[in-house]
Structure 1
């Protein structure tokens, strides 16, 4: 009997109740995106209902642009986190590391230590008992159940050996709660105050803020669904590319377990490939800037 065959399914082994919910994960996955939607709807309703508030047509494209930028920046954290810090497909120098760290905070990825440890287990037990988000156990579990109910033994695992000397990773992990509070609450609060004191449009500010929050929520769920669920299923090509646009190429998952140590998820050549796999494109740009080196690329993508 193999070790894997003796391991219980994670969705069955972990106690699931209201008392054991990981509320930080619930807030990140459900409550915060819902608050963004409430703020956006409230801004639109108040702008239409009250004469003292002005709602312009061009606020809509600004909101869409803010949402797209939020999705892009979140992917600029998760992409290098996954490909470089997780799978060691190359090296990023400190300016790039700082950008990646803050984008991971924006994406609400929680502890980098836990992120890497969970993903290591996923590759060790992919689609078997022991996989933290095995879609064969439950699609809901693979989507968000595994982050809503956590095993304390998982959270107790130490920082992976290859990251123990990375000062930026250690700083981001040690202060990720404080940095999250500053980035997601203090900074928006200061912006609202500046706009109010300067006589600017609070409606436009609320629309931009809500769009950023909603964009982060879209990217969050596109990643967990696109990688953990649909990435392990046979899906139409158009759907694969839709998820790829929302995840910077992370949802292009068919090849990933065969060659995980690749900085690119699509061939290096081709404008469309570089547009869809923009997490990989960002790493190529970092290399040009001297911020990344020793990038490894799967043979089929070189």
Structure 2
């Protein structure tokens, strides 16, 4: 089998513009907006700017990373690997978080990830880091094989009409969440006489947090997760990915709602995607969680 990194031609016909915007264009806009608001606040005396805006912005960045992972965790562990069942309210919330995280269509995500597990680190793996680290990071996202995006819905996901319906309107939901909602917030703040500088700074922070989580996922898991890395790097990537970056065991026992042992405060912090699933199970939003024996 020909390696995917060489089999897929790199030209404008295979270049995926929405993926480029999600991976690079939108993050750049967020950084430019963030820097611009800081500079305007510091150097334009007519504008009100307080230094506590900055730590608040960093807090929003951290919260955005967390919120994005609240979509990735259910998608990867439950919808992909069937480590449990999502009740309808949890399906809606997970999908909204995935729109926020800009992860693309669930159908495509699951199909790509299924191929990855079938051909892990071999020709046929959509993002094999041993072919090219750059390809495993973003190349496979930017250049697409049409056959991949035309694959049908995985059979087990067809049993989730909420997921299927919301996924069909991925573009529309994403536009509302990333453009319409912010525009409404700006309008409300302006009408109420609030600080547009602070509003724009926090908006930029949300975009930056989403970008950090996005690249931590695709690089920290697809590349670092398949290479030998120091323990501190594993834990750093885990904090940015909700525990998804703990990858050494994953291909042996993929069907696990937890990626670290159930006991231990630090385990529950770095594997917070699993921790949230445990909490959702207690309120009935998640059912029948499966946990690998070493993590039970």
Structure 1 residue 17, shift from structure 2 partner? 2.2
Contact preservation (8 Å) 2:257, 2:289: yes
Equivalent residue for 1:114, pick from 108, 114, 127: 108
- Once the two structures are TM-superposed, the CA of residue 87 in structure 1 deviates from its matched residue by 0.2
Equivalent pair of 2:14/2:145 in contact (CA under 8 Å): no
TM-score (norm 1): 0.97
> Is 1:25 aligned to residue 19 of structure 2?
yes
Stretches of structure 1 that go unaligned for 5 or more consecutive residues are 1-6
What residue number does 2:185 align with? 191
Deviation at 1:51, TM superposition (A): 1.5
Partner SS for 1:164 = helix
Equivalent runs, 1:109-258 vs 2, <5 Å: 109-258=103-252
Equivalent residue number for residue 270 of structure 2: 276
Aligned to 1:73: 67
Taking the aligned partners of 1:177 and 1:157, their CA distance within structure 2 comes to 18
- Deviation by residue 1:16-69 (Cα, 9 ceiling, x = unmatched): 024431000000000000100000001011111211111101101210111111
Task: Judge conservation of contact 2:83–2:257 (CA < 8 Å) in 1.
Answer: yes
- What is aligned with 1:4? none
Residue 289 (structure 2) pairs with residue 298 (structure 1): no
**Deviations, residues 258-299 of structure 1 (Å, cap 9, x unaligned):** 000000000001111001000000100000011111100001
State yes or no: 1:36 paired with 2:25.
no
- Whether the 8 Å CA contact 2:84–2:288 is kept in 1: the answer is yes
1:55 alignment counterpart? 49
Q: Partners of 2:230 and 2:32 in 1: how far apart?
A: 33
In 2, Cα distance between the equivalents of 1:25 and 1:222?
16
Segments of 4+ moved more than 6 angstroms: none
Aligned mate of 1:15, from 6, 9, 18: 9
The residue that corresponds to 1:3 in the other structure is: none
**Count of aligned positions:** 296
What per-residue deviation string (whole Å, max 9, x for no partner) do you get for residues 145-201 of structure 1? 000000000001000000112012112211010000000000001101111111100
Looking at structure 2, the residues matched to 19 and 285 of structure 1 have their Cα atoms a distance apart, in angstroms, of 45
Provide structure 2 residue ranges, at least 5 long, that are not aligned to the other structure: none
RMSD: 0.7
Once the two structures are superposed, what CA deviation does each residue of 1:72-103 show, in whole Å capped at 9, x if it has no partner?
Answer: 01000001100000000001101111110000
* Structure 1 CA distance for aligned equivalents of residues 142 and 229 of structure 2: 26
CA distance in 1, matches of 2:104, 2:14: 18
Q: Cα offset for 1:300? A: 0.5
d(CA) in 2 for partners of 1:274 and 1:165?
Answer: 31
- Establish whether residue 289 from structure 1 lines up as the match of residue 283 from structure 2: yes
